[in-house]
Amino acid sequence: MTELDPKLERQRIIKGRNRALALVLFGLAALFFAITIVKKMP
Amino acid sequence: MSTAPVQPILLPADWRDFWSLTKPRVMSLVIFTGLCGLLAAPVPINPVIGFAAILCIAIGAGGAAALNMWWEADLDAKMKRTANRALPAGRMDRAVARDFGIVLCAGSVLVMGLAVGLLAAAILAFSIFYYAVIYTIWLKPRTPQNIVIGGGAGAFPPMIGWIAATGDITLMPVLLFAIIFFWTPPHFWALALFVETDYAAAGIPMMPVVAGHRSTRRQILIYAVLLLPIALAPFLLGLTHWLYGLSALLLGAAFLILTLRVATFRTPANDADMRAEKRLFAFSIIYLFALFGALVADRFILG
Residue A25 one-letter amino acid: L
Q: What is the pLDDT of residues B23-55, one digit of tens each?
A: 999 899 899 999 999 999 998 889 999 999 999
Any chain B CB within 8 A of the CB of A8? no
For chains A and B, CB pairs below 8 A equal 36
Q: What three-state secondary structure class fits B117?
A: coil
**pLDDT tops 50 at residue B138:** yes
**B49–A35: do the CB atoms touch at under 8 Å?**
yes
Q: What is the pLDDT of residues B156-191, one digit of tens each?
A: 999 999 999 999 999 999 999 999 999 999 999 998
**B11–A35: do the CB atoms touch at under 8 Å?**
no
- Provide, as residue numbers in chain B, all residues whose Cβ is less than 8 Å from the Cβ of A5: none
H or E segment to which residue B260 belongs: helix B242-263
Any chain B CB within 8 A of the CB of A40? no
How far is the C-alpha of B227 from the C-alpha of B217, rounded, in Å? 15
Any chain B CB within 8 A of the CB of A10? yes
Any chain A CB within 8 A of the CB of B87? no
**B48–A35: do the CB atoms touch at under 8 Å?**
yes
C-alpha angle B262/B192/B124, rounded to 5°?
Answer: 115
How far is the C-alpha of B234 from the C-alpha of B36, rounded, in Å? 14
How far is the C-alpha of B54 from the C-alpha of B77, rounded, in Å? 32
**pLDDT tops 50 at residue B231:** yes
Per-residue pLDDT at B270: 64
Any chain A CB within 8 A of the CB of B8? no
* A23 vs B142: which has the higher pLDDT: A23
Question: Poorest-confidence range of A1-5, B9-13, B137-141, B283-287?
Answer: A1-5
Minimal Cα distance from A18: which residue of B?
B15
pTM, two decimals, is: 0.89
C-alpha angle B87/B10/B27, rounded to 5°?
Answer: 30
How far is the C-alpha of B258 from the C-alpha of B29, rounded, in Å? 22
Q: What is the pLDDT of residues B232-271, one digit of tens each?
A: 999 999 999 999 999 999 999 999 999 999 998 666 666 6
Q: Which of A8, A31, A37, A40 to mutate to test the interface with B (most CBs of B within 10 A)?
A: A31
How far is the C-alpha of B148 from the C-alpha of B222, rounded, in Å? 12
Minimal Cα distance from A38: which residue of B?
B48
- Which CA distances in Å does B249 have to B155, B183, B234, B287? 21, 15, 12, 11
Minimal Cα distance from A4: which residue of B?
B11
How far is the C-alpha of B268 from the C-alpha of B192, rounded, in Å? 18
**Helical axes B275-302 vs B242-263, angle rounded to 10°:** 170
